[in-house]
Structure 1
Amino acid sequence: MNYIVRRAAHLAVVASAVATVSMAGATAANAEPVQHGCAYPYVCFYTSRAAVDAGHPAAKFQVVTSGFQDLTARDGYIVLNTRNDDVAYLRSNAGTLCVGPNTTTVMSPGLTLSGVRISSNSSC
C-alpha cells in the first residue's frame, strides 16, 4: 500500500510541474516585446534621446479615452506608440497631432505637448 501512495504522490508532483511549465511557456510566447522601456499597449513619452536609449519614459498612457489626458507640458518629447491598431492624438501648442500605431515620433523644438488621447482609430 505504501508503494501505491508514494507512486501516486510522485505522479501528482510530475503532473503539477508539467502544468506549470506549460502555462509559463504560453504566457511568454504571447508577450509583446518591450521597446525602450515601453511595453505594449502603451504610448510613452521621453524627455530626451538618452532617456529613450536608457528605456526610461517620463510618462506612459494606455487607456482609450474620449478626451485628453493631461501630460506635463514640455518641448521636445519623443513619443513611442506601441499599440498595434490604435492612434494617439497629441494636444500641442500648434494644435492636435496624430501618432500612428507602432510609430516613434520626435517632436520639433518649440512644439509643446500637454495632453494625449488614445483612440481606437487604426489610422490618423
Structure 2
Amino acid sequence: MSLAMAGGVSVAAQATAHASPGTATVKAAADSCAYPYVCLFKNGVKIGQFKDVTSTWQNLPSRPSGPNLVIQNTRRDDVAHIRWSTGTTTCIAPQRSFTVSGGTLTGIRISSSATC
C-alpha cells in the first residue's frame, strides 16, 4: 500500500459531489500528481497518494471531506473507486479528476479495469 496522509480534515454533513475538470484546483492537482498515482488534494495541498492496484479497500485514516477536496487519477488505464462514509462509492475514470463538494471519504481502491 502506498500512502502519504497529513493533517486532520473536518467532517461535512452530507455526501454530495460533482466532477469539475475545468477548475483551477483541478489544474493544480494535475500538475503535482505524477503518473501512476491517485492523489487527494485539500485546498490545493496534497494530503495523500496511492498507486497500488488492490482487491480490497485502503482505508483513509484522516477521513477527508469536501469542500475543496480533489481526487486526481493520473493512471492511464486503471479506475479509482472512492468510498463515502455512507457506504456508497464513486468511480473515477483514468486520467480524470473528481471534486468533492461535501461528504466524507473513508476508503480508496484502484482497480485494473479501464472503465467505470
Q: TM-score, structure 2 length as denominator?
A: 0.67
Letter of the 2:78 partner, please give it: D
User: Higher RCO, 1 or 2 (CA under 8 Å, sep at least 6)?
Assistant: 2
Larger radius of gyration: 1
CA RMSD across the alignment = 1.5
1:29 alignment counterpart: none
Structure 2 equivalent of residue 40 of structure 1: 35
- Give ranges in structure 2 of 5+ residues lacking alignment: 1-28
Q: Write 1 or 2 for the structure with the bigger share of helix.
A: 1
The residue aligned with 1:116 is: 108
- Gap runs ≥5 in structure 1: 1-33
C-alpha deviation, 1:96, in angstroms? 1.0
- Provide the C-alpha distance between the structure 1 equivalents of 2:64 and 2:50, rounded to a whole number of angstroms: 16
**How many percent identity over aligned positions?**
40
Distance (Å, rounded) in 2 between the aligned partners of 1:116 and 1:67: 9
- TM-score, reference length from structure 1: 0.63
1:19-38, aligned counterparts within 5 Å? 35-38=30-33
CA deviation vs aligned residue, 1:9-54 (integer Å, no higher than 9, x gap): xxxxxxxxxxxxxxxxxxxxxxxxx933110000000112xx1xxx
